[in-house]
Amino acid sequence: MKPSRLLSLTLAVAPLSPAPLTAQATAEILTPKPSAEPRINGPKIFGVRPGSPFLFTIPATGERPMSFAAKGLPAGLQLDPATGRITGTLKERGTHDVILSAKNSRGTAEKPFRIVVGDTIALTPPMGWNSWNCWGGQIDQQKTLAAAQAIVRHGLDQHGWTYINIDDAWQGKRGGPHQAIQPDPKRFPDMKELCDEIHGMGLKVGIYSTPWVTTYARRIGGSSENENGDWTSPGNGPKTVNKKILPWAIGRYSFARNDAKQWAEWGIDYLKYDWNPIEVPETAEMEKALRESGRDVALSLSNSTPFQSIGDLSKLANCWRTTGDIKDTWDSMSKKGFTQDKWVSFQQPGHYNDPDMLVVGHVGWGKPHPTNLTADEQYTHISIWALLSAPLLLGCDLEKLDDFTLGLLTNDEVIAVNQDILCKQAVKVAGNDKRVVFAKPLEDGSRAVGLFNLGDQQESVEVKWSDLGIHGTQTVRDLWRQKDLGTFADGFSAPIAPHGVVLVRVMPSK
């Protein structure tokens, strides 16, 4: 095929409307259905600390039943061939190169997988679900379990979605053998049983806390004004949050070690640690407490991390919120997603800039409704988060996933951009206020490139190979459609709908 200079790609353009269009009104499902043949998805690398419990479930699509194997699995780990679940403990530091395989009646798939036993965990961005943007302060054990069951029922775990994270409002009083925060017995009658059930599905569990005396939802926090950790609810009076005024301030007595021990005994895998301003001493204290708990717990800081402290904070935390809370509007999502360039130098494997959770599907902070983002805006949302290698945490009602939303969440070529082992954050390489191009290098030497139209009218967006620091004829692949578009000598362009995107992979032509 003779290479073209530029591509004119025909895309569906949403009609103009005076009111925001729902996803259902304009939804075009671009993601092809998975093949019946086996395909192993998810990350190529996994980090674990010496002596910590190991849990990794091989994410694979394809016709069931399916059997799994792992060649080169180190001693201390075991694989369940029926579920693809790898468990056990590795005591010695080191790197193990494994070949994962999945087999069904249609064939066999293999994938290289590296296990790194060392100090760094979360070697690719966390993927999962968080309760807040769906249920707000109404979370309970039944809703949490239902979310985990929905992950499995919809097959999202086959694409790498792993964490089920409980946000604020789970807390009761302090007590137990560790004088730690105990769950509200009306909401979470048995936290250990819940964690065991979720782990039994091959998934992981997250929880929420703060170093303040009181959380944003007016629940008990991780510090107190007295050594017993006694606490009285501040009630529903005016909030004085973010001002270091009690009860939204750090108490004289910290219970970080107490709480970390309790979370480890329950089986917690992820902590959202939420206060403002985020400061180094409390972060370092909790990071140390989690390490000493005997369990790998990813530490995620929230919210609005101060840029002047990020040099120190980024060495301690696995994720840190670079923004305030997201809402399901174009203004909120786009301002967060397209303003991350200044943070780029602090991101590396195991440490991620976090522009907040995803607001696709049914969201609503206690009253779920279809997202106010249009279909094109949702493609843009997932695309820029994937390019940023940001944590992917769903904030929607997982029991109300329609085919369009499932298509957004199950495109393995898009997810692979997010999970690439380099964990590079995309940056703006071309464009203006309305037409922008973000790009990042991938492990295999190719480039992931997003052409975005931030304006309100259809626009043609172009990327030149010189913008990417490459030259020569390149093959361009549409990642949402999982389709090669051809070879191009100098660059690539496409007409793009308002607030829309074309996400491609650019690689040298053979």
Cβ distance 44 to 91 under 8 Å?
A: no
The pLDDT, as a whole number, for residue 1 is 37
Within a domain: 324: yes
Q: What CATH number does residue 228 fall under?
A: 3.20.20.70
Cβ distance 355 to 322 under 8 Å?
A: yes
Within a domain: 39: no
Within a domain: 9: no
**Residue 98 and residue 144 share a domain:** no
**Residue 230 and residue 377 share a domain:** yes
Q: How far apart are the first and last CA of the chain?
A: 12
DSSP character for 168? S
**Residue 343 and residue 269 share a domain:** yes
**Residue 172 and residue 132 share a domain:** yes
Residues with Cβ within 8 Å of 157's Cβ and at least 6 positions away in sequence, in order, are 57, 59, 151, 201, 202, 203
Question: How many structural domains does the chain have?
Answer: 3
Q: Tell me the two tokens of residue 253.
A: 């007595």
pTM of the model: 0.94
Catalytic residue ranges: 274, 325
**Residue 132 and residue 75 share a domain:** no
Within a domain: 387: yes
The pLDDT, as a whole number, for residue 9 is 43
Q: The sheet that has 163-165: what strands, in order across it?
A: 352-354, 319-321, 298-302, 270-274, 204-209, 163-165, 127-130, 392-394
Within a domain: 217: yes
The pLDDT, as a whole number, for residue 237 is 66
User: Can you list the pairs that 143-148 forms with residues at least 24 positions away whose Cβ atoms lie under 8 Å?
Assistant: 144/188, 144/194, 144/198, 145/194, 145/197, 145/198, 146/398, 146/399, 147/398, 147/399, 148/197, 148/198, 148/201, 148/203
The pLDDT, as a whole number, for residue 13 is 30
The pLDDT, as a whole number, for residue 490 is 95
The pLDDT, as a whole number, for residue 238 is 67
**Residue 100 and residue 149 share a domain:** no
**Residue 186 and residue 281 share a domain:** yes
Distance (Å, whole) CA 406 – CA 417: 18
pLDDT by 10-residue block (mean), the chain, 510 residues: 38 30 59 97 98 98 98 98 98 98 98 98 98 97 98 98 98 97 98 98 98 95 95 79 87 98 98 97 98 98 97 98 97 98 98 98 95 97 98 97 97 98 98 95 98 97 97 97 97 97 96
Q: Tell me the two tokens of residue 197.
A: 């059930």
Q: Tell me the two tokens of residue 302.
A: 């929230």
**Residue 156 and residue 99 share a domain:** no
**Residue that has been written with the tokens 């707000």 in this structure:** 136
Within a domain: 109: yes
Within a domain: 177: yes
**Residue 239 and residue 327 share a domain:** yes
Distance (Å, whole) CA 120 – CA 128: 19
Within a domain: 3: no
DSSP character for 136? G
**Residue that has been written with the tokens 């029926």 in this structure:** 82
Of 392, 397, 394, 389, give the one whose Cα is nearest residue 419. 389
Distance (Å, whole) CA 87 – CA 203: 12
DSSP string of 65-79, one letter each residue: S-EEEEETPPTTEEE
Containing structural domain, residue 465 = 23-28+426-508
